[in-house]
Amino acid sequence: MKTLELHFVTGGGKTARLTIEQPQEPIHPKDVKNAMQSIIDSGVFIDSEGNTYEEMKAARLVERTVTEYSLD
């Protein structure tokens, strides 16, 4: 499964992360940057201390593979 992780710096100087499961591909960096700026501008998201997301820190696409083994 793939996830898109968006990392922000909050008003308190901490890092906050939003995770989007199964993002639409291909992912265009310009679109990600615009979306992140919209999130910041909206002021909708806050951390546990009430600080809003203030600046972009990073974005990354994570692909995870899980292999299960029978224990019988």
Contact 36, 59 (CB under 8 A): yes
List, for residues 5-61, the tens digit of each pLDDT value: 999 999 999 999 999 999 999 999 999 999 999 999 999 999 999 999 999 999 999
Q: How many Å separate Cα 34 from the centre of its chain?
A: 13
**Which 3 state secondary structure label does DSSP give 43?**
coil
Q: What's the domain range around 17?
A: 2-63
What element of type H or E holds 41? helix 29-42
CB within 8 A of 22, min separation 6: which ones?
Answer: 1, 2, 3
* pTM, full prediction: 0.87
Look at residue 45 and tell me if it is in a domain: yes
- Residue 68 belongs to some domain of the structure: no
Number of structural domains (the chain) is 1
